[in-house]
Amino acid sequence: MPQATATSSDPALFADRRDRFLHRLGGAAAVIPAAPLVTHHADVEHPFRQNSDFWYLTGFDEPGAVALFLPHKPENPFVLFVAPKEASAEVWNGFRWGCEGAVERFGADLAHPIAELAELLPGYLDGAEGIAFRVGRHPAVEPLVLKAWGSQLDRAPRSGSAALGLVAPCPLLHELRLRKSPEELARMREAARISAEAHELARQVARPGLNERQVQAVIEQHFLEQGARGTAYGSIVAGGDNACVLHYLENDQECRAGDLVLVDVGASYANYCADLTRTYPVSGRFTPRQRAVYEAVLRVLESSIARCVPGMKLREWKRAAQVEMAGELVGLGLITAEEAAKDTADEPACKKYFMHGLGHSLGLGVHDIAPPDGPLEPGWVMTVEPGIYIPEEGLAVRLENDVLVTEQGPVDLCAHVPIQPDEIESLLARRA
């Protein structure tokens, strides 16, 4: 049996999540597939990462499984279909829990080999008032769900009952996922800690002549050494004008004297993500122009974090940052006061130099559950990431922290990561 890993959790935690989800389903049955293995090339597969919805409800970290949630069958409301234990398969692919482990370790009321899904699914869905299934995402399972539902509709004139329709499970489930439990927050704090340490290493090694990829290597090595699963997203290490590409991933250019380097990296720890960005002067000191741009972004970051409070609607949160950023751009000489005066929500005056959103929810995904417009609620974790991008000057600054919304005010999970320009310069002056 494998050792416990960072993705392991108290089975009671997942049982509680399932109970709340089953309650929200009412009389509908839910079919939630696990992630499949995805081919990279030939017969080589990408590293496996579980579907977030499936993992949130089950804690089961194997590919190709399917979970059924059946409130209309209270004697067996949680059923798993999994890969069976086969010694010959485990030689190639490693340990599998099998049906017995799905029940004993993961709390399934019943478990079956995945090969039996087509045969047994119709019976499990029979009697449900509706079927909650995310269409368009699971091509191996979707035909089975549609066939089972179609059979119910064909029998309806004789049986007098059939599921009324397909509904998306996402609104019900994602409302649960938005609010982070203490255990989830502990994992996110650990992801932030590992990410912060990696940023410190990046700051120490980044210098003129070093390749961006060498900085990336130091960061990602630290993630793995600290028990992270790896990166939460593709690491961005962007020197000079490369940082004007928002999702720059090549990371193959030399860090040049006099440039800034933008480092946007986050660790995935126990499936939970951090998302942290800092911008450093490669030569150790900001030029006056770089400092002015940096401080402008920092002011918008700090005020935007302060507005991460319950009741703040997301569009109003973003809009306040846009208005503030327009004023900063006037001060930097990038737009005129007349241009700023024409600012509207549909045509923000800052969009030429600050063209992306202010932040997004964070959790099992780096761009996690898309929250409603608001208001912000306690338990949500949001990134806050203003930036200014000036391609004509080969200059870009983005700063990003992860913030927990609470009744007592915002809690910055990255508050311990150096960010003030004087502190940054002091730390860079002491690098080996």
CB 393 within 8 A of CB 368: no
Give the active site residue among 247, 289, 315, 416.
247
61 is catalytic: no
Give the active site residue among 356, 377, 393, 425.
356
19 is catalytic: no
E-assigned strands of 154-266?
166-167, 230-231, 236-239, 260-265
222 is catalytic: no
Those residues whose C-beta lies under 8 Å from the C-beta of residue 221, and which sit 6 or more positions away, are: none
List the beta bridge partners of residue 411: 404
307 is catalytic: no
Residue 167 to residue 164: CA distance in whole angstroms: 9
From the number of C-beta atoms within 10 Å of its C-beta (0-12, 13-18, 19+), residue 379 rates as: middle
Give the active site residue among 20, 254, 367, 425.
367
Residue 224 to residue 201: CA distance in whole angstroms: 14
Give the active site residue among 62, 385, 402, 412.
385
360 is catalytic: yes
Give the active site residue among 190, 328, 368, 400.
400
Give the active site residue among 222, 241, 398, 402.
398
Note every long-range contact of 153-157, with CB atoms under 8 Å and residues 24 or more positions apart, other chains counting: none
72 is catalytic: no
Give the active site residue among 360, 368, 402, 412.
360
Give the active site residue among 43, 338, 347, 407.
43
Give the active site residue among 53, 190, 241, 264.
264
Give the active site residue among 275, 368, 402, 412.
275
DSSP class of 397: E
Number of DSSP helices (H) and strands (E) in the chain, helices first: 13, 19
Residue 432 to residue 428: CA distance in whole angstroms: 9
16 is catalytic: no
23 is catalytic: no
Q: For the chain, give the number of residues.
A: 432
Residue 426 to residue 250: CA distance in whole angstroms: 30
CB 125 within 8 A of CB 98: no
Residue 110 to residue 7: CA distance in whole angstroms: 23
124 is catalytic: no
Q: What are phi and psi of 400, to 5 degrees?
A: -150, 130
Give the H/E segment covering residue 278.
strand 276-281
43 is catalytic: yes
398 is catalytic: yes
Residues with catalytic function: 43, 247, 264, 275, 356, 360, 367, 385, 389, 398, 400
